[in-house]
Structures are given as C-alpha cells and as structure tokens.
Amino acid sequence: MLAWSLIPQGIPDITLFLIVGSGAAMVFGMSKTGFGSGISILAVPMMIYACSHKATLAVGIMLPILIIADYVAVISWWRKWSIKTVLALLPTTVLGIAIAWVALAGFQYMRIDPRTSAANAWLMLGVGMIAIAFVGLHILKRVTARNTTFRPTRGHTALAGGAAGFTSTLAHAAGPVITMYLLPQRKSKSTFVATNALFFWTANQIKLIPYLHLHMINTETLGAGVVLLPGIIIGAMLGRFLHHRVGRTQFTVIVYTLLALAGGHMCYKAVSQLSR
C-alpha cells in the first residue's frame, strides 16, 4: 500500500507504470554497470509510455532514477575510470547544461512540452543521424582494415561535452554522444564503462540545479523513483554479470548495435513528430 501511494497522481494505468517503468529502470541499471550508455536511450521512450505519454512527468522521474543508477555504477567501477577524460569534457558540458536550462525555461514559459516541440524533434533527428553515421564509419573502417585508435582533439572534446550536456538536460539523450566519443578511443571495457559512469554521475548532479529550479523534480517524482528502485538494482546486477561474460569484440559489437538501434529510434521518433 505504501508503494501504491508513492505512484504519481494522474497515472491512469498503474499496472502499466509499474511494469514498463520498472523495465526502464532495469535498462538504466544495466547501462550503468555493464553495457555503457548505448542501451540507456531505449529507456527514455519506455518511461514516457509508462507515464501514459506525460512527457514532462517522465523526464522528472528519470533524473533521480539516473542518479541512483549512477551511484551504483560509480561504486561498482570505483577508480577504474579515466579522470582526465571526464575533466576534459566538463567545461563545455556545463555550458551545454546551462543552454538547455534556458531552453527548458522558455518551453515552460511558452507552455511547450520540450519532448514534443519541433526544436527537440530536430535535435533528436540530428543526434540520431550522427549515431547511425558513426556506426557506418566504424563498419567502413573495419572493412578497410583501418584499425587505428581515435585521439580526440580539443575541438572534438568541446563538441562532445557541449552536445552531451545539452541533449542530456533536454531529453536524457546523451548516451549515444558519449559512446561515440569514448568507444573509438579503444579503452578497456572496464575503463570505458567506468569513465562513462563517472561522467554521467557528474553531469546528472549538475542537472539537478535546473530541474529543481524549474520544479521538474518534486515529491511525486521522488516517490516514483523509490517505487522503481528495485528495477535499478536488478538491472545493475544483470549488467555486471553480463559485463564479465562478454569479450571485448562482442562488447564492441553489442554497443555499436545498441547505438545503431538508438539512433534509428531517435530518427523515427523525430520524423514522426515533424510530420504531424
């Protein structure tokens, strides 16, 4: 009965919320501890569906869940990350978060849902196309036997950080951006996952500032996070289990496949919105 009372008001189908919302939480947990961030983008539409297409509510619920999953991931991969990589990304990440904060405030002022606006549709389309193009370039490189390690320049790092901060704040959609930045650097599986976890732990703590300021996080969203907490724990355990049983080549194939699926889904979602 306590868990039932924590479910946000306005959810017409509580069973759907519990089942699909818990599934989204499991995906978050898995992505943070075993399969990078490629899979996490799939949880975004799941949570919106769980909330009966109440996008603003879904976005508010997701950030506390993400932060809980971040803590699990950071503890699981403690000090296995590349701190230099995270610190290099942070300056423009903060800038991207600030720009998205202004955008969200504008959406609220104009009473526009940030996830159904034309601006966000074009944003999702751009990120999705970049993700698919990146997968295509990886396949081309493998076919032509160019197996070199990507060494990002300051420009690459600045662009990745800014795009991640903006897309993460606006739509929790920075997973493909960071995957595209980290994976070609050919870090070990553990370093890749740990660096990804530390980056999002840091970025999501910063995102609390605009979300609290705009009242996107409240007692209802926090209560929903408590209800869905078991899904995060189960997903984290499953992700950790799979991480140690999947080889580097398989791991890369899985992450790129998930990245392609995520990019395709984002393109489909964006085109659907723009065609209405």
Residue with tokens 């289990």: 241
User: Given this model, what pLDDT does residue 101 score?
Assistant: 94
Contacts of 150 (CB under 8 A, 6+ apart): 184, 185, 186
User: Given this model, what pLDDT does residue 159 score?
Assistant: 94
Cα distance between residue 94 and residue 268, in whole Å: 29
With the C-alpha atoms ordered 138, 143, 146, 148, is the resulting torsion angle positive or negative? positive
CB 263 within 8 A of CB 145: no
CB 170 within 8 A of CB 114: yes
User: Given this model, what pLDDT does residue 38 score?
Assistant: 60
User: Given this model, what pLDDT does residue 73 score?
Assistant: 84
Cα–Cα distances (Å) from 227 to 3, 8, 15, 68, in that order, read 6, 10, 12, 12
Question: Residue 246 CB: number of other CB atoms within 10 A?
Answer: 16
Closest CA to 97 of 41, 160, 170: 170
With the C-alpha atoms ordered 54, 55, 61, 65, is the resulting torsion angle positive or negative? positive
pTM: 0.78
CB 29 within 8 A of CB 233: yes
Cα–Cα distances (Å) from 229 to 40, 47, 55, 208, 232, in that order, read 16, 14, 20, 19, 5
180 — phi, psi (to 5°)?
A: -60, -30
Closest CA to 260 of 130, 66, 151: 130
User: Given this model, what pLDDT does residue 2 score?
Assistant: 47
Tell me the chain's radius of gyration from C-alpha atoms. 18
pLDDT per residue rounded down to tens, the chain (276 residues): 545 556 766 677 888 888 989 988 888 888 777 665 566 767 777 887 788 767 677 888 889 888 888 888 899 889 999 999 999 999 999 999 999 999 888 877 766 666 566 666 776 677 778 778 778 877 876 777 555 667 888 999 999 999 999 988 987 878 888 888 888 888 888 898 899 999 999 999 999 999 999 988 988 888 888 888 888 888 888 877 877 777 657 767 777 787 788 778 878 888 887 787
Buried b vs exposed e over 60-93: b needs ≥16 C-beta within 10 Å?
bbbbbbbbbbbbbbbebbeebbbeebbebbbebb
